[in-house]
Amino acid sequence: MLKLYDKTVTSRLLLGTALYPSPAILGEAVKASGTEIVTVSLRRESGFERAGQSFWSLIKELGVHVLPNTAGCHTAREAVTTAQMAREIFGTSWIKLEVIGEQDTLQPDPFGLVEAARILVNEGFEVFPYMNDDLVVAEKLVQAGCKVLMPWGAPIGSGRGLNNPYALKTLRAHFPDIPLIVDAGIGVPSHAAQAMELGYDAVLLNTAVAKAGDPVRMAKSFALAIEAGHLAVEADPIEPRDMAAPSTPLMGKAFF
């Protein structure tokens, strides 16, 4: 079981809802993944002539928790305003906080992120900050009141996997009691399993499923990989070593 603020879920996969070929495929992928939390952009809900209403109806029919995000925001003020609107529309105090600082990599702006997080926590939001893998930024976000951290694996949509496993491992060791979710850059199920094997609590992804040739099958494969990685950590895996260690003992060996 995974507790995120006041909610407890069994699935450790969080799934985005953008870029799918059709609403029907989105719905089937969500079901196949077993996820209990999906991220939703405010812009999907407030589109032209409220076209987002049908999308919102689909999400409600799936019976999952909604994690609105502030995707596309480049300043703390813009992110705070978007979060306030999202709370009114989606009826939740959860918010995935994104404040983008660099356009090519979509790397988070650490200064704007911490500023926005502090404001939103003071307004009663339960903030899931999308951040880079910087330990100091993580400290500042925790001090601001964030009880979940979401460091990136690699730039959004890049599919590169975990660019800096060392930094992610350091974050895990430094914050043993805070839920940590790898968010962004995951491309294939083995990347997700690797994140879980580092001791992370969950993985959030979108593009790797939505843009796959078969999103439904890919969603299922990610669910299995995340479960495998989590079970492996709980099983206490062996430590890597430089030399061979024979699995067959010398005792009882035949001599001629």
Q: Give a yes or no: residue 250 inside a domain.
A: no
State residue 252's pLDDT score. 60
Assign residue 154 the CATH number of its domain: 3.20.20.70
- Number of structural domains, the chain? 1
Helix, coil or strand: residue 96 = strand
State residue 48's pLDDT score. 43
Q: Give a yes or no: residue 204 inside a domain.
A: yes
Query: Distance between CA atoms of 151 and 183, rounded to whole angstroms?
Result: 6
| Whole-Å CA distances, 248 to 64, 153, 240, 251 | 50, 39, 18, 9
Q: Give a yes or no: residue 256 inside a domain.
A: no
Q: Give a yes or no: residue 69 inside a domain.
A: yes
State residue 166's pLDDT score. 97
Residue 69 known to bind ligand = no
* pTM, full prediction: 0.91
Q: What are phi and psi of 205, to 5 degrees?
A: -150, 160
Q: Catalytic residue at 96?
A: yes
Q: Give a yes or no: residue 54 inside a domain.
A: yes
Query: Distance between CA atoms of 11 and 112, rounded to whole angstroms?
Result: 31
Q: Give a yes or no: residue 229 inside a domain.
A: yes
The domain in which residue 204 lies consists of 2-235
Q: 17 and 38 in contact (C-beta within 8 Å)?
A: yes
Q: Give a yes or no: residue 253 inside a domain.
A: no
Q: Give a yes or no: residue 252 inside a domain.
A: no
State the catalytic residue, choosing from 3, 7, 96, 169: 96
Residue 206 known to bind ligand = yes
Q: 109 and 100 in contact (C-beta within 8 Å)?
A: yes
Q: Could you list the pLDDT tens digit for every one of the 256 residues in the chain?
A: 999 999 999 999 999 999 999 999 999 999 999 999 999 987 645 544 444 567 778 888 899 999 999 999 999 999 999 999 999 989 999 999 999 999 889 999 999 999 999 999 999 999 999 999 999 999 999 999 999 999 999 999 999 999 999 999 999 999 999 999 999 999 999 999 999 999 999 999 999 999 999 999 999 999 999 999 999 999 999 988 898 888 876 666 665 5
CB neighbour class for 218 (10 Å; exposed up to 12, middle 13-18, buried from 19): buried
Residue 207 known to bind ligand = yes
